[in-house]
Amino acid sequence: MSLKENHTKLIKKTAALLGFDYCGISKAVFLEEDARRLENWLNKGYNGKMQYMDNYFDLRTNPTLLVPGAKSVITLLKNYFPSEKQQNDNPKIAKYAYGKDYHEVIREILKHFLSQLELEIGEINGRGFVDSAPVLERAWAVKSGLGWIGKNGNLITKTSGSFYFIATLIVDIELAYDDPYTKDYCGSCNKCINACPTNAILPNKVIDGSKCISYFTIELKDALINEDMKGKFDNWMFGCDTCQDVCPWNRFSQPNTEKAFTPIPAILNLSTTEWEAMTEDAFKEIFRHSPLKRSKFKGIQRNLKFLKQ
């Protein structure tokens, strides 16, 4: 077994020990096709008011600009599908936000991951990313053989669906690379397209981010939400899972085993009246480690008012 094969075996073993459900590895190359696709998406204004999507374009498509000398991109998936559901009729929250903020959780695991590799392999120049840097995680996941991009824009695994966080480690060592995922198992199914409350899912796996409920309830910082969206949010207060909930492949989803993702009781149980009565101090205390802090107290209150209109 060659040195890079040994290193690859070590990386995949370490990934499993650290609680990642999938690990795939790709050669660090310029993502030419994805660069064209991203440029076209931005030119059509599908990013709405998410101006940060316009920034660092070159970094998004070239890993060697993020990590000088990068040779390999390690893609990791971590399950977040919950074992519990929200109470019926309560303001709906996307499942990824039920527990502790995944940025905090996975970032710490990635730091430990790199430390472990340096102990076993030696000095490595590398960086870990989890949805907070200019990295095209889904593109790398496909190139690493982990799954395909569904019509809803999510990465889908054939064995267990799409309720996964995607993390990326870019390193300057050569490894044994996985074959890219070349099949598409969406077929003629259009359930996600038909179910989207705001018609944000367009043909050819294009998502109009400016129409997505997640965009309005999380990313949009305006004091008011567009009037033409009235009555279309299907009671989603933070994020939206509609396109994943209707996906047939998610019938294979299994509850995660990460303690940090254990649902915060308030998220499962609070009624609309209780959410409306919450003070800002209480919000900051209850959700200090939750993804909900991204919308802040004012954003949550704005979303609640919009749902009642």
- Catalytic positions are 131
* Listed residue (234, 43, 241, 215) closest to 161, CA to CA: 241
Residue 23, strand partner residues? 76
Residue type for position 93: I
Sequence-distant (6+) residues with CB within 8 A of 254 are: 79, 81, 160
Question: ∠ CA 80-85-91 to the nearest 5 degrees?
Answer: 105
- Chain centre distance of CA 3: 33
Full DSSP string of 246-269:
T-GGGGG------GGGSPPHHHHH
Element (H, E) at 236: strand 236-238
* Residue 197 backbone phi and psi in degrees, to 5: -65, -25
- Distance between CA atoms of residues 141 and 96, nearest Å: 19
Residue at token pair 């209850």: 286
Q: By the 8 A CB rule, do 144 and 73 touch?
A: yes
- Distance between CA atoms of residues 282 and 286, nearest Å: 6
